[in-house]
Amino acid sequence: MDNLTIGFAGLALALLLMALRMQIGAALGLVSFVGIAMILNWKAAWGIVTAVPFNFVGDWNLTAVPMFLLMGYVASAAGLTAGLFNAMRLFLSRLPGGLGVASVGACALFAAASGSSVATASAMARIATPEMLRYKYDPGLASGVVAASGTLGSLIPPSILMVLFGYFAEVSIGQLFIAGIIPGIISALIYMAMIVGRAIANPEIAPPADDHPTMREMLAALREIWPLPVLIVGVLSGIFLGVFTPTEAGAVGAFLAMVIAAAKGSLTRDVLKKAFTHTLSGTAGIFMVVIGTVLLTRFMALSGVPTFFADMFIEWGSSDLMIILLIAVLYVVLGMFVDSIGLMLLTLPIILPVVREAGMDLIWFGIVVVKLLEIGLITPPVGLNVYVIKGALGNLVRLQDVFRGVLWFIAMDIVALVIIVLVPQLSLWLPSLMR
């Protein structure tokens, strides 16, 4: 059996093991170990398996992962994200479909603090969707808007996906963070415009709310949510101005979240315990997947699979747009079955050589990849965020209603993706201004 055949057999086996619900990191690590042993020998494979995880975990740049997770968990556990939907509802409920529009805005802000699509969807589903259902919103719209808007956590910085992409692609994580701001805002605005348009065309799916907030109520809502914008602006402006690196920004953000929580009187021992526990378990889960991917990268390089795909994509893709289209098809299909972190890390060893060979800008391409992963989070039949919403709401909505609701948002995601691909400067302008 030649090396290329071993590589393709390993990829097929890895996908099969993941389909059978084996832990992604374990599946990738096991397949990589056996594949390297078949190409080289068992002694070399054991040497790589023992050395690579140690070198990876000791990489200073990846301390950003637990730090940003800690920032998000402290912000959530200490109540810094409380009141987001209420504030957005007071300001936006007079628009057609105002509660849906408010849900998009609240999810975008929550996502900027948490960096997690799943955490955003789970938290906002319990707050926003029951309120929309109370106003007789269509169940598909009421649940689909939160499932889709929760994916903004991947694109709006800080984002764990961007940290991992920057590490593997060897590009500036800070520039990736700043590059995601405008595409993230565009995605949120396209969602909002679609909701308003549908509500105007068919008011029955989003009946108008009877809210008439006073100026005092709106000012009170702003006073309640001020910690979150301060936290987000503090972290991103520090990266943009070069005050600190993205790695340091994670620690600054976690510390700033604790200071704000302490100032509000909500930083208790239980809050810290809950935040640190979730951070440890979340970091361990992510690092398991990434270690498996690092091993897979070595296995793929030895097998020659990335070179094979690079040659094939360059031959098929007569232009950069055609290569992006082929990669998009790959991500959409695999995104139906594999979670976002696992999918990105599984495919990067294969597609990065293709992109480098084509001479594409890796910062812009990172934003395209993250947007494709967002689509995968709500694409049937898996759509992780859809099941998160269903789990959070229980019998309030049916699973088929959630999937029906997200179809509109998948269409809007495709529109946003086309804009990001055709106008690269939307992603590259802000990074070009960074110090």
pTM of the model: 0.82
CA–CA separation, 166 and 172 (whole Å): 6
Closest CA to 351 of 336, 375, 372: 372
Q: How far apart are the first and last CA of the chain?
A: 51
If 0-12 CB within 10 Å is exposed, 13-18 middle and 19+ buried, where does residue 215 land?
Answer: exposed
How much is the pLDDT for 44? 86
Low-confidence stretches of the chain (pLDDT < 50) are none
Mind listing the pLDDT tens digit for each residue in 311-359?
A: 776 676 567 788 888 888 888 777 766 667 777 877 888 888 888 888 8
How much is the pLDDT for 73? 81
CA–CA separation, 224 and 49 (whole Å): 50
CA–CA separation, 276 and 361 (whole Å): 37
Which tokens in the block code for residue 50? 């023992």
Mind listing the pLDDT tens digit for each residue in 108-134?
A: 888 777 766 777 777 788 888 888 888
How much is the pLDDT for 314? 66
Contact 152, 232 (CB under 8 A): no
What is the chain's Cα-based Rg?
Answer: 22
Listing DSSP states for 383-428 in one string gives -HHHHHHHHHHGGGS-HHHHHHHHHHHHHHHHHHHHHHHH-THHHH
**CA dist 418 to 221, 321, 350, Å?**
36, 10, 23
What angle, 0 to 180 degrees and rounded to 10, lies between the N-to-C axes of helices 399-422 and 384-393?
A: 140
Contact 346, 295 (CB under 8 A): no
How much is the pLDDT for 337? 65
The three-class DSSP label of residue 267 is: coil
Contact 403, 386 (CB under 8 A): yes
CA–CA separation, 303 and 78 (whole Å): 49
What is the maximum alpha-carbon separation in the chain? 74
